[in-house]
Amino acid sequence: MTLRFAGDDGRVFEQSGASFAASGDASGWSPTVSGENLLVELSLPAGQYPENFSLSIPQLSHLDISPTASARDMMTIAIGESDSCQNDIVCRANPTAGFTNAAKAVARMVFTTSQGSFLCTGTLLNNTNSPKRNLFWTAAHCISTQTVANTLQTYWFYDAASCNGNTASSQATTLTGGAFLRHANTTRDTALLELKTAPPSGAFYAAWNSAAIGATGTSIVGIHHPSGDVKKYSLGTVNGLSTSIDGKSPLYRVVWNDGVTEGGSSGSGLFTVASGGAYQLRGGLYGGYSFCTAQTDPDYYSRFSDVYSSISTYFGP
């Protein structure tokens, strides 16, 4: 059985019934599509008859704007209207290879729960499996159940077409099909997914470091989709190695000196730069208090090192 979904822009997304069965779930959400109309086409295998088949649509999630436009969680915001102090990834002067590669590992996330559709950010992680596994790091407060993981849609190379431009790059690619939930820890706010569909050509598998960050003052970089906008980056330092907030613990506390985070940045990677120039993921954004009007107020990130022992088998033999 195959389901096809299309919106007003004519793009068609295909999803197999097997993708639901593989997750042990007989129900699931379609990909998000643009426009006021949703066309659903059901294709049955030879020998199967429509009169013997039942398909129901018990819920609909209607976004206020196109899923390819920018949004802050479920609020209407246009591309380019995340906070004014955000740094467009395309504007960085003389970016290193490490920075460029890490940016290609970061994807915008759209997923659906019983409360509606939401935005977060995730990072594709390197591993030594052959073939390579499509491991994707984010936050448990974004996705912590298989039912929600099944709804995941990712947007790759969702960057501005030009520095501070108001259109997305022509290279932007949408990936549907959801993910397998491999790990979720709601106290530490960590989640590891495995994408059911391979990321597009050119996506980078980011480096990571399973050791804890050892000193305050360590320089860090955040790469994220604030308010679901095109990709941005923030620069700062760690000023707390083991802190807690809202019952989440332990977390890194960071302060920014350039850029901030917003809704939609949740789950995005916290990177340090290794001696060879590689950007290494060390955690994911839980949340915090930074705003353009309060840039030095702290944000909080999960610690990859704390859960690595429970997820290490996914990264290679």
**How far is the C-alpha of 111 from the C-alpha of 31, rounded, in Å?**
9
Mind listing the pLDDT tens digit for each residue in 56-81? Answer: 887 777 765 555 443 333 333 457 76
Q: Assign 15 to helix, strand or coil.
A: strand
Dihedral, CA of residue 127, residue 131, residue 136 and residue 137, to nearest 10: -20
pLDDT, position 22: 58
Radius of gyration of the chain (CA): 19
| Residue 182 contacts residue 135 (beta carbons within 8 Å) | yes
Whether 167 has a pLDDT exceeding 90, the answer reads: no
The single-letter DSSP state of residue 161 is S
pLDDT score of 146 more than 60? yes
Question: Higher-confidence residue: 167 or 247?
Answer: 247
H and E: helices and strands count for the chain: 4, 20
Q: Worst-scoring range by mean pLDDT, 10-24, 129-143, 195-209, 255-269?
A: 10-24
Res 223: pLDDT = 99
> Residue for token digits 């790759």?
156
Mean pLDDT, the chain, integer:
90
Q: Is the confidence at residue 37, as pLDDT, over 90? A: no
Strands 299-301 and 2-6: unpaired
Residues shown for the chain:
317
| 266 classed as catalytic | yes
> Once rounded to an integer, what is the mean pLDDT over residues 247-270?
97
Catalytic residue among 23, 82, 266, 268: 266
Where does residue 115 fall: left (phi above 0), alpha (psi -120 to 50 degrees), or beta otherwise?
Answer: alpha
Determine whether 141 is an active site residue: yes
Give the pLDDT band (50/70/90) at residue 114: confident
CA dihedral 236, 237, 238, 244 (to 10 degrees): -30
CB 88 within 8 A of CB 103: no
One DSSP character per residue, 230-268 reads: SPEEEEEEEEEEEEEETTEEEEEEEEEEE----TT-TTP
What pLDDT, in 10s, does the model give residues 184-200?
999 999 999 999 999 99
pLDDT, position 26 = 66
Task: Specify the 3-state DSSP secondary structure of 174.
Answer: strand
120-124, 159-163, 164-168, 203-207, range with the lowest pLDDT: 164-168
Cα distance between residue 47 and residue 28, in whole Å? 25
How much is the pLDDT for 195?
Answer: 98
Distance CA 189, CA 113 (A): 18
* Catalytic site residue from 83, 159, 189, 229: 189
pTM: 0.85
- Say which of 23, 30, 34, 141 is annotated catalytic: 141
Mean per-residue pLDDT, 180-187: 98
Evaluate if residue 87 carries a pLDDT over 90.
yes
127: its two tokens: 């591993």
Residue 91 has pLDDT above 60, yes or no: yes
pLDDT at 19 over 70: no
